[in-house]
Amino acid sequence: KTDYLQTMLKENRRDGLACLAKKHLPWDSRNNGYSINFEGRSTTPSINNLQVADPLDDSNILLQLGKAKDNCYYLDVKYPFSLYQAFGVCLASFDFNCCCVRIVYRRCVS
């Protein structure tokens, strides 16, 4: 039996799905590294800093994790993520930073 989500993706059906992506990080030659604009929310560089956005609207940031200081991070999240799901994405990003390259989230549509 094939998984429902896998079948939908293979058939290129997106009804009820939100395909999200980790926001592309621009290279900052001044700091000699990749940078994310957190609009003042986070100022400490970290490999675990991330933003997840709608690929069709890169300015619509749905989840962001930013380091505040040692062992302290900010988590900002909005729909379609629940706090539980966002926390799971962030925990996974600490374990393996590349996990958030592509996120597929199934919306509950009634």
Over the stretch 26-43, which tens digit does the pLDDT of each residue have?
777 887 777 777 777 777
Name the average pLDDT for the chain: 76
pLDDT at 83 over 50: yes
- pTM summary value: 0.68
Query: pLDDT grade, residue 17 (50/70/90)?
Result: confident
Q: Please tell me the predicted confidence (pLDDT) of residue 100.
A: 44
Q: How many residues are recorded in the chain?
A: 110
Over the stretch 84-97, which tens digit does the pLDDT of each residue have?
999 888 888 876 55
CA distances from 55 to 31, 32, 74, 99 (A): 26, 26, 22, 16
* Helix or strand run (H / E) with residue 90: helix 83-95
At a CB cut-off of 8 Å and minimum separation 6, what does 5 contact? 17, 104, 106
